[in-house]
Amino acid sequence: MSVFTAVVDAGSFVGAVEGLRMSKAAVSRHVDALERRLGVRLLQRTTRRLSLTEEGRIFYQRAREVLAALDDAESEVSSRTQEPSGLVRVNAPLTFGILYLAPLWAAFMEAHPQVELDITLNDRVVDLVDEGYDLAVRIGDIPSSALISRKLVSTRMLLCATPRYLERHGTPLHPHDLAQHRVLAYTNWSDRDEWHFEGPDSKVSVRTHARSQTNNGDTCRAIALGHGGIILQPSFMLHEDLRSGALVELMPEYRAAEIGVYAVYPTRKQLPLKVRRLVDYLVECFKDVSWERERPARTR
């Protein structure tokens, strides 16, 4: 399983050789033996590319989970008597980092006095390896890669506007009505102009025409609160505005995506204890969070 996942992560047999410290022939023999044992083909091989079969995709995901569990068990046992120390470089999205992560750092540092934190907030996707980060918090789908991720919490994307905007411009009753409204686009989403919903009968997509666009969710929210248009933003950002009535959720029967918030780090092999403790701490902090109820509590 280790060899197979290494081949998939590297994208080729040759690419996996260096990390595994095995010959290409040995790598190929391991994968062939695994396919014979399972009785299915896991990889489609051509002279130009390597791709997963459907069975290979399923087995790859499960194999990574199994290998991760083994690494976790080994690390937990070996680190029980150790004290984490050293610098941890963390990257997180701006708004989420201010609202929900900033209140948590002090308690972690109090519990681990030998750990130092270097925290950077921005909304771009950083390259953890090239830029030297130990850990990143990311919101949205995590693409298949050599990076390891642990889910912290989920957040719903909500369609909202102010009551005054709706009085002036009317209330959309179907996602297709959004094409005629002022919408405020968040440019960091991959489908920033096309918004997707799942309704009572089927999935619906609508091509919107943004009155304004920005790479910052707080700016979208501020313009919406100024009656400037309709936004599609995460519940962790909007739930207090909805509670106060400053914003109104539109078409709740048409649900937009529910997305995950993840702790992401470069590798699980020989993961430094300081990073492991921080990831475990964040998982614990967010385990009972509901954006409609409260912010995460500080834990020790």
Residue 187's domain comprises 82-300
87 lies in the same domain as 70: no
Q: In this predicted model, what pLDDT tens digit does every residue of 259-294 receive, in sequence order?
A: 899 999 987 666 789 999 999 999 999 988 766 544
Q: In this predicted model, what pLDDT tens digit does every residue of 93-138 receive, in sequence order?
A: 999 999 999 999 999 999 999 999 999 999 888 888 888 899 999 9
61 lies in the same domain as 114: no
201 lies in the same domain as 141: yes
Q: What is the mean pLDDT of residues 73-102?
A: 83
Which residues, in sequence order, are bridge partners of residue 115? 86
Query: 74 or 260: whose pLDDT is higher?
Result: 260
Q: In this predicted model, what pLDDT tens digit does every residue of 39-66 receive, in sequence order?
A: 999 998 876 778 899 999 999 988 988 8
70 lies in the same domain as 92: no
167 lies in the same domain as 256: yes
The residue out of 53, 79, 105 marking a domain boundary is: 79
What residues have CB less than 8 Å from 287, skipping those under 6 apart?
A: none
What residues have CB less than 8 Å from 245, skipping those under 6 apart?
A: 163
Number of domains forming the structure of the chain: 2
262 lies in the same domain as 147: yes
The residue out of 79, 111, 130 marking a domain boundary is: 79
Q: What are phi and psi of 78, to 5 degrees?
A: -75, -20
Is residue 136 within 8 A of residue 126, CB to CB? The reply is: yes
First to last CA, the chain: 36
Distance, C-alpha 161 to centroid of its chain: 26
287 lies in the same domain as 241: yes
**Which of the 8 DSSP states describes residue 295?**
P
Q: Taking the CB of residue 47, how many other CB atoms lie within 10 A of it? A: 4
Q: What are phi and psi of 143, to 5 degrees?
A: -65, 155
What residues have CB less than 8 Å from 291, skipping those under 6 apart?
A: 155, 156, 235, 236, 239
CATH code: domain of residue 257 = 3.40.190.290
